[in-house]
Amino acid sequence: MTKLTRRTLLAAAPALALASTAARAQAAKIEFLGWSAEEAPSKPSIEHMIRTFEQANSGTQVSWVGFQWGDVQRNLLLRIRGNQVPDVVQIQDRWLPSLARLPQMVDLNEVYGKAELEKLIDPGLLAMGRIRGKQMGMPWCSGTIGMVANKRVLDDAGVGELPTTVDAFVAALRKAKQKNANSVPYPMATKNNGSILLDVQIWMWTFGAQFFDDAGAVKVNSPQAVQALEFMVALVKEGLAAVDIDRPDSRRLFAQEQSAMYFDAPVARSFARQMSGKGEAYDANVIPMPTPVAKAGDSPRAIQWGHVVSLMKKGDGPKADGAAAKFLLHLTTNPDIQVLYYKNVGLFPTARASLGRPEISSDPYASRWMREAMRADRAEVANWENAVDLTNVIGEETQAAMLGQKAPAAAVAAMAQRLEPLMAKNRG
C-alpha cells in the first residue's frame, strides 16, 4: 500500500464513520407481539406480512414475539414491567378497554391524525379500537362470533335442515350423538375463561339474560340467566357437550367430523381446511348459520369480534414516518396484504381499499357469514376496564356449574355476588 493510499484512507475515515453512523440510524428494529403466527393457519400469512414490509423498507427488521392467545395479555404485562416494551401489539378487541389504561399505549389519532385514519377505515369500524374518544387500536380484521355447522356430520345424522330454535338444535345434536356415540356434537367451551365467556354470553342473550346494564348494574341474578346455565349444564350431562374443551379442541373436533355445530369466528373455515387435511376441498362442509333462538320470532344473537393492532410508547413515542407506524399501516390498510390474509385465513378485512375487492365480495362464505350473523353486539365485559377480572368470575362460576360443583342457580347467585364489587369500581 502506498503512502498516498494510506493518507487517502485516513482522510476518508471520518466521512466513512459518519456514513456508517447514518446507516445505523436509518436501520430500524420493530418488535411485533401477538398470537396469530403461533397458529398454523395464520403463520404463513404473518410471515409474508413481515417479509414484504422488510423488503419494501431496506434495513428494517421485524421480530415476531409470539404467545398462545390465552397468554398474550399476561406476557405483555410482564414484558412492560421488565422494560421490554414491544413496538406493535396484536390485541383482541374485547381486551382493549383494560389494556388501554396502560401508559405505554398510544392514541393513534395523535400519530396519524383522526381525519387521515377515517380516510383509510370507515369510522364505524374504527370504533372497534376507540376507547373514551381515543383511537387506542387500529382495526386489523373484523367479523362476529357466530355458529358454524358441519354439513357432512349433519347429513350423516339425517338432519336435513339447519336448526333455527333451541329445541331443534338439541334434537339435531341428539341425532349426531346417536350416529356417533364417541362424538361431542356441540364442543362448547368449558375451560379457559376467555373462551367460556363467548359461549355463555351468547346463550345468556338467547335466553333473555344479561350480565350488566349500560350503567354497570349487575343484572345476571335472574331466572333467565339460570335457565341459560341450566341449558348448558344439561348439554354436558347428556353428553352433547363435554368438560375440558377449549376453542382449539372445538376446531379439531369439527374438522375431524366429531362435532356438528359450535361457536367461532370466521377463521373457522381456515382451521377446518388445515385440520381436516383436505384444504379448500373441505369448504363445502363449513356452513355459517344463525344462532338458534329460544322461541320463534327472536333475533339470533352473535358477538362482535375482531383484532386490532396498537402502537406502544418507547422513548419519545412513535412518529407517523417512523418504522413502527408504517408497519401498523402495512398490516391494516394494505389491500394486497389484507385480501391475502382473508383468502388464507378467512379474517374479514377492515380498510376501505380492501372491502371492495372482488376476492371478498364474490366469496359466498363471506357473504353468508355476514348475512347469518344477524344481530351482533359487543360482549358485555368488553365495555369495562376490568374486563379480565369480570371474565374470570363469569368463567369460573360457569365452569363450576359445568363440573357439577354448584347447581346452576347457585353458580348464578355466586357470579352476581362476585361481580358486584368489581362493577362498583366501574360505576365509580
On whether residue 12 sits in a domain, the answer given is: no
Last residue of a domain, one of 321, 340, 369: 369
Within 8 A by CB and 6+ apart from 398, the residues are 196, 200, 229, 232, 411, 415
| 16 in a structural domain | no
Domain identity same for 43 and 137: yes
Condensed to tens digits (0 to 9), the pLDDT of residues 23-62 reads: 344 568 999 999 999 999 899 999 999 999 999 999 999 9
Are 152 and 271 contained in the same domain?
yes
Q: Are residues 298 and 220 in the same domain?
A: yes
pLDDT tens-digit profile of 403-426?
Answer: 999 999 999 999 999 999 999 998
Domain identity same for 133 and 163: no
Report if residue 407 sits inside a domain. Answer: yes
Distance CA(293)–CA(162), nearest Å, equals: 12
pLDDT at 12: 37
pLDDT of residue 341: 92
Q: Is residue 3 part of a domain?
A: no
What share of the chain in percent tops pLDDT 70? 93
pLDDT in tens, 77-111: 999 999 999 999 999 998 998 899 899 999 999 99
pLDDT at 373: 59
Q: What is the reported pLDDT for 346?
A: 82
Query: pLDDT tens digits, residue range 199-227?
Result: 999 999 999 999 999 899 999 999 999 99
What percent of the chain clears pLDDT 90, i.e. is strictly above it? 76
Whole-angstrom Cα distance, residue 371 to residue 363? 12
- Print the domain residue range for 175: 144-303+380-427
Find the range with the poorest average confidence among 35-49, 164-178, 340-354. 340-354
Q: What is the pLDDT of residue 4?
A: 33
pLDDT at 374: 52
Where does a domain end: 369, 399, 416?
Answer: 369
Statement: residue 11 has pLDDT above 70: no
Query: How many domains is the chain partitioned into structurally?
Result: 2
pLDDT band for position 22 (cuts 50, 70, 90): very low
Looking at per-residue pLDDT, the higher value among 285 and 21 belongs to 285
Max CA pair span of the chain = 96
230, 362: one domain: no
Residues 113 and 154 grouped into a single domain: no
- In a domain, residue 281? The reply is yes
- Tell me the per-residue pLDDT of 146-170, one tens digit each, with 9 for 90 and over: 999 999 999 999 999 999 999 999 9
Same domain, 266 and 415: yes
Is 374 within the bounds of a domain? no
Residues 80 and 135 both lie in one domain: yes
What local confidence, expressed as pLDDT, does residue 368 receive? 86
Question: What is the pLDDT at residue 29?
Answer: 95
Give the whole-angstrom CA distance, residue 351 versus residue 331. Answer: 10
The CATH code of the domain that includes 156 is 3.40.190.10
Q: Is the pLDDT of residue 349 over 50?
A: yes
pLDDT reported for residue 214:
87
Task: Look at residue 395 and tell me whether its pLDDT is greater than 60.
Answer: yes
The answer on 311 and 292 residing in a single domain is no
Angle of CA points 238, 169, 414, to nearest 5°: 60
pLDDT-derived band at 375, boundaries 50, 70, 90: low
Q: Is the backbone of residue 113 left (phi > 0), alpha (psi -120 to 50) or beta?
A: left
Domain membership of residue 21 (yes or no) is no
Asked, for residue 313, whether it belongs to a domain, the answer is yes
Q: Are residues 76 and 153 in the same domain?
A: no
Least confidently predicted of 168-182, 269-283, 367-381: 367-381
Residue 9 has pLDDT above 60, yes or no: no
388 backbone dihedrals φ, ψ, rounded to 5°:
-65, -45
Cβ-contact 307, 107 below 8 angstroms: no
**391 pLDDT exceeds 90?**
yes
Whether 150 and 258 map to the same domain: the answer is: yes
Same domain, 151 and 97: no
Query: How much is the pLDDT for 24?
Result: 40
Residues comprising the chain, all counted: 428
Q: Please provide residue 278's backbone torsions phi and psi, each rounded to the nearest 5 degrees.
A: -110, 0
